[in-house]
Amino acid sequence: MLSNEELDQFIICKKCDTLHKKIPLHKGGKALCSKCNTLIYRRDDNMIEKTLALVVTALITLIIAFTFTIISININGLEQSLSLMSLFYVLLEHKQYIVGLMFLFLIVLFPIIMLYSMFLIIFFMKIKKYGYAVKRLLILLSHLKPWNMLDIFFISLLVAMVKLFDYARIELGVAFIALVVTLVLELIVIKNISFDELWKKYEDTYRDDYDKE
């Protein structure tokens, strides 16, 4: 039976499940699957600095997206301005409690928790402290990642807007632009950064604590 250290020398391609043995990479190098050519892992010595900047920006734009008007709809002179939070209250007013709770958790709370968790992970790694908290946050992030539906909500919003264009005048608010920026940054930070890379950074940063475990 292989030990944990021996198992750490291997990695599985997420696309075709081919097993590979890890090899050292030069700065900026990438390891591709020998079977399907999918990116398996890479070496980015500046990952922490880049990710921290992206996460801080994403948190700022997300706050803007939740605070200001996302769209204004004018139908026959009747105008209604909507924000992301007002949509939650509208659902409650129409007694759509289950949908409202799903909206609150999947669209509002989970993206905030994920980005804030990522910020804490990168910040703690940067200062090389609180290794136990970083480990727990990485586990939390891996559980929440599949439940982040902000991109699905944005697509649904676009579909609804297209249907309204024929009989309503729609003006996009500053929150709409902020939401687009947040989605782009989130895709880069959450979806494109490998958890294997984060765990490797965790092990390298807190090697002494990791060995004790």
Residue among 43, 12, 6, 45 nearest 25 (CA): 43
SS3 (DSSP) at 168: coil
pTM of the model: 0.75
Whether 189 has a pLDDT exceeding 70, the answer reads yes
**Structural tokens at position 70:** 């996302």
Say if residue 50 is in the same domain as residue 38.
no
Kindly report the backbone phi and psi dihedral angles of residue 75, in degrees, each rounded to the nearest multiple of 5, phi listed first. Answer: -120, 110
Q: Does the CA dihedral 45-11-117-205 come out positive or negative?
A: negative
Say if residue 4 is in the same domain as residue 96.
no
DSSP state of 68: S
Say if residue 137 is in the same domain as residue 177.
yes
Whether 212 has a pLDDT exceeding 70, the answer reads no
Domain that holds residue 35: 1-43
Whether 1 has a pLDDT exceeding 90, the answer reads no
Say if residue 35 is in the same domain as residue 132.
no
pLDDT of residue 60: 93
Burial class of residue 206 (count of CB atoms within 10 Å of its CB; 0-12, 13-18, 19+): buried
Say if residue 152 is in the same domain as residue 170.
yes
Domain count, the chain: 2
Q: What is the mean pLDDT of residues 52-69?
A: 90
Say if residue 68 is in the same domain as residue 172.
yes
